[in-house]
Amino acid sequence: MFARLLFESFRRQVRRKAFAVLAITLGMSITTAMISVATDIGDKLNQELRTGSANLLVTPLADSLDVNIGGVDLKPAGERASIHESDLTKIKSIFFRHSILGYAPFLSDSKTFKIGDRAITADLIGTYFSQPVQLGSEIFVTGVRKVNGFWKIEGNWPADDIADALAGASLARKAGIHIGDRLQIGGKELNIAGILSTGSTEDNAIVAPLHFVQQVLDRPDAVHRVVVSALTKPEDAFARQNPATMSPATYERWSCSPYANSIADSISKVLPNVRVEQIRQVEQNQGNVLSRISGLMLLLTIASLLAAALAVSAVMAATIIERRQEVGLMKSLGAGNVAVVALFLTEAGILALGGGILGFAGGVVLAHRIGASVFGSSITVPPVVLAIVLFGALLITFAGSTGAIRKAMSFDPAVVLRGDA
Amino acid sequence: MNRAQLLFLLLLKAAWVRKDRSLTALLSITVVATMSTVALSVYSDVGSKLNREFRNFGANVIVTARQGTLDDGQFAAIKTMLGNRGEVVPVSYAIAEGPSGAPVVIAGADLQLLRGLNSWWSITPPAAQANNPQSGNLPSQAFLGARAAEILSPKGQDFQIRFGKKSLQVHPGAVFHSGSEDDSRIYLSREQFTELTSMAPNIAQLRIEGSPAEIEEQIQKLSAALPQADIKPVLLITAAQAAILGRTRSIVLAASAVVVVLIVLCMVATLTGSVLERRKDFAVMKALGASNSSVNMLFAGEAALISTIGALFGFVAGSAVAWWIGSANFGAGIRPRPGLLLPIVFGSIILALVAATAPLKVLRQIQPAGILRGE
């Protein structure tokens, strides 16, 4: 009997039920899309920023002080300690290897170049532009194009396996270097493929492939410093603790959290005799900004969820209030309060589950669309969101229905049937 | 009683008799107006809020003298142009000799300004001062980069540096970690630096507040005013600012658009459903001889009255929620934007009118007698 009543209710009130399902679907689409966007935006922006600038700096422990003013390195290369280039692949072997998006090594010294019949003195910097590196059976492509996205190039990026180079913008202006010029250095020739602007030391230098510079400086397998781009978690009080004073259990928890400090600690374990430091201007400030943006999205999500909950509750309340005469009729035919409540709540539950599933599907599509339009990649919707959405849909529809059912039941059936309530 | 008064009375009576239905419609419109106000307020203000955050990134523009040093007139011109929307810290660099004769970069600057500009520096007292906090108030303190401190003053002790024939006793006042070449440098007060080197500042570190476009505009103005200087943005900072701002505004816009559109659809569904439930009222009016325009006016008037009240409530509630979001997240509330009030009210009225009158077209196709029979 109960099942038949339920079936007839859906069969005879298609329009009313359709409006209710539509409202729940829309509300749950908002819930799914906003939760997905809010939980994924931190990772998406972090990834975006990490391709823009590296956040860790690796230098030899035994190195003497940098002597660098106005972008000119005044320390002779011979006096500088170095790191073995061949060891750098170990950076991708640490526990957080999946958080390491890329690295770029640097080797530099002041050199005199000949351009035509002129001679100019400037820093020669060697680095990876987009260098394929063998990692076991895989090829990992890394270099400044991957970790220093803020570098602006006029012209073309050089390849790593030919004698092409970039001329810093300030140096190019002062020395009259143009794209296509050929510079002579140490019996070798460099073709200027592009002009580089960084707003930093590279603006006054010639930047060439690392292996070319190693040959010119006669420093095979040597690099002076390495910048690493790693996806990190914003620093908190726990991250700032000194690992040397931690208990083994605390240290394990700390070293398994992707803080910049713990990733630096992992790198220094596989590359002995190096110092790994956060580039604090990048890491600290971007971490703060990302926390703000995640917080903003979280608060917007809370406001949206409350709005969706109110909208859905209003629809459910309206749907039941319109059915006061039905309640009156059922009660006058002898139905008890429990039977009426059970019927209405079961209907609400079915509507909630149906609307919840449709809303989840709609929300997934919306989240993907938002991700694709803003970040060029889809936003991941964790499966747990489905459970949250279904639970939320049930909670909201029951909350919206309960008050209205109680009110509908409080009227005298005779009064309701006369149309006076 | 004239027609307008009669219509108003009818509207009030209709709203009062079906209080539940009216409250549901009012709630729906209030929710829409609230979310629209929140979304538009947050979207309008998120740029300026995030630009404030970028103040902590430090210098975003570097001014360098092409030859020689920057004079007082040039610094005054920079300060005048920036006004209260930025900060300028003059810095001079030189190479001195440490105790072992090894070269070390020294710099002269207003140390308090420098510390404020580089707020991300992790600053700790030197080893000696940690054991004896009283020694932290010496007048001629210096800031030591972490690597410089490690090599030149491992125990936090004073040490001597030489520049030409002059020498200076350095009292480490603080050790900082920056993760940059600054870690190898010693920052002295300007007085100490000038006494040792007799050099005037040759670089100005500028923190210009504003959006990337405003910063670029200031760079253009500075370049025109200071033709003898190189003025370059720190791309590491400005590129990150542009990327974050652009993406955040886009995501807030996209998410807000989704929420507002879906909430609007939800409201339209609620109101349309509510009007369809009143088809008996419609039929009775028609059976008693009301014209289509009279019925339309009654339904539209009711919707307009409720939506105006709902939009006003929603604007107030939305402004309050936006303020709360700003205060909770950025430490400064998002101010109410009176300019949004009219669009919110008119938008709500139009939506309510569409939702209330569109179903009447469907009902007109059915004879009143049919509706009253329950068809």
Bigger pLDDT: B352 or A191? A191
pLDDT at B142 over 60: yes
Kindly tell me if the per-residue pLDDT of A323 is higher than 50: yes
Q: What percent of chain A has pLDDT over 70?
A: 96
- Co-location of B261 and B187 in the same domain: no
Phi–psi pair at B114, nearest 5 degrees: -65, -40
What is the extent of the structural domain holding B361?
A: 3-53+244-372
My answer on whether B228 and B263 are in the same domain is no
Q: Is the same domain home to B181 and B252? A: no
Question: Is the CB of B239 inside 8 Å of chain A's CB atoms?
Answer: yes
Q: Do B89 and B194 belong to one domain?
A: yes
Closest residue on chain A to B29 (Cα): A311
B188 and B333 fall within a common domain:
no
Q: Please, are residues B13 and B298 in contact by the beta-carbon 8 Å criterion?
A: no
pLDDT at position B138, please?
47
Which of chain A's residues have a Cβ under 8 Å away from the Cβ of B234? 199-200
For the residues A224-231, what does the mean pLDDT come to? 92
Please check whether residue B233 is in contact with residue A196, taking contact to mean a CB–CB distance below 8 angstroms. no
Mean pLDDT of B138-159: 84
- The answer to whether A29 contacts B262, with C-beta atoms less than 8 Å apart, is yes
Domain end residue (candidates: B233, B252, B287): B233
pLDDT value at A312 more than 70: yes
A202 shares contact with chain B (CB less than 8 Å): no
Indicate the average pLDDT of chain A: 86
Helix A280-321 and helix B19-53: axis angle, to 10°? 180
Q: What is the pLDDT of residue B89?
A: 92
Residue B239: inside a domain = no
In degrees and rounded to multiples of 5, residue A140 shows phi and psi of: -115, 125
The pLDDT assigned to A194 comes to: 95
Would you give the DSSP letter of residue B96?
E
Average pLDDT over residues A232-243: 84
**What mean pLDDT do residues B310-324 have?**
93
Residues B66 and B176 in one domain: yes
A377 shares contact with chain B (CB less than 8 Å): no
Q: Is residue B74 part of a domain?
A: yes
Residues B255 and B180 placed together within one structural domain of the fold: no
**Residues above pLDDT 90, as percent of chain A:** 33
pLDDT, residue A79, reads: 65
- Read off the amino acid at residue B271: L
Amino acid identity of residue A211, one-letter, is H
Q: Which residues of B are less than 8 Å from A150 in CB distance?
A: 235-236, 239-240
Q: How close is the nearest chain A Cα to the Cα of B251, in Å?
A: 6
Same domain, B250 and B353: yes
Q: How confident is the model at residue A74 (pLDDT cuts 50, 70, 90)?
A: low
Burial of A232 (0-12, 13-18, 19+ CB in 10 A): buried
* Predicted confidence (pLDDT) at residue B144 exceeds the cutoff of 80: yes
Q: Look at A308 and B252 and tell me if their CB atoms are within 8 Å.
A: no
Q: Is residue B1 pLDDT above 70, yes or no?
A: no
How much is the average pLDDT of A383-404?
Answer: 87
CB contact under 8 A, A289 and B230: no
Among the ranges given (A59-68, A70-79, A97-106, B315-324), the one the predictor scored with the smallest mean pLDDT: A70-79
Q: How far apart are CA A417 and CA A330, in angstroms?
A: 11
Q: Are residues B161 and B202 in the same domain?
A: yes
Domain-terminating residue out of B193, B208, B233 = B233
Q: Which of A245, A310, A266, A418 is nearest to A23 (CA)?
A: A310
Question: Is B81 part of a structural domain of the chain?
Answer: yes
Query: Is residue B173 domain-shared with residue B64, that is, in the same domain?
Result: yes
Mean pLDDT of A240-266: 89
Contact B93 A69 (CB under 8 A): yes
Number of domains into which chain B is organized: 2
pLDDT band at B105 (very low <50, low <70, confident <90, very high): very high
pLDDT tens track for A273-311: 898 988 887 777 778 888 888 888 888 888 888 887 887
Of A237-241, A250-254, B65-69, which range is least confident?
B65-69
- On whether both B165 and B271 belong to a single domain, the answer is no
Q: What is the number of other CB atoms lying within 10 angstroms of the CB of residue B314? A: 27
Instruction: Record the pTM.
Output: 0.76
Question: What was the pLDDT predicted at B136?
Answer: 45
Contact B255 A312 (CB under 8 A): no
At A83 the pLDDT is 92
Cα–Cα distance, B207 to A285 (Å, whole number): 14
pLDDT tens for A112-135 read: 999 888 899 998 999 999 999 998
pLDDT digits (tens, 9 = 90+) for B266-296: 777 777 777 776 777 777 877 887 787 887 7
What confidence score (pLDDT) does residue A417 get? Answer: 67
Our CA-based measurement puts residue A61 at a distance from the nearest CA of chain B, in whole angstroms, of 10
Residues 92-151 of B with CB under 8 A from A: 93-95, 98, 102-105, 118, 120-122, 147-148, 151
- Contact between chains at B179 and A280 (C-beta distance less than 8 A): yes
More confident residue, B235 or B63: B63
Stretch 209-228 of chain B: residues touching chain A, C-beta under 8 Å:
none
B127 and B224 assigned to the same domain: yes
Q: In this model, does residue B133 exceed pLDDT 50?
A: no
Which tens digit of pLDDT belongs to each residue from B237-271? 888 888 888 888 888 888 888 888 877 877 777 77
* Dist CA B337 CA B40 (whole Å): 9
- Please indicate, yes or no, if residue B316 is contained in any of the structural domains: yes
Q: Which of the four pLDDT bands, split at 50, 70 and 90, describes residue B179?
A: confident
Residue B254 with chain A: CB contacts under 8 Å: 37, 370, 373-374
B205 touches chain A (CB under 8 A): no
Residue B347 inside a domain? The answer is: yes
Q: What's the rounded Cα separation, in Å, for the pair A218 and A109?
A: 11
Domain chopping of chain A, boundaries = 2-46+289-418, 54-278
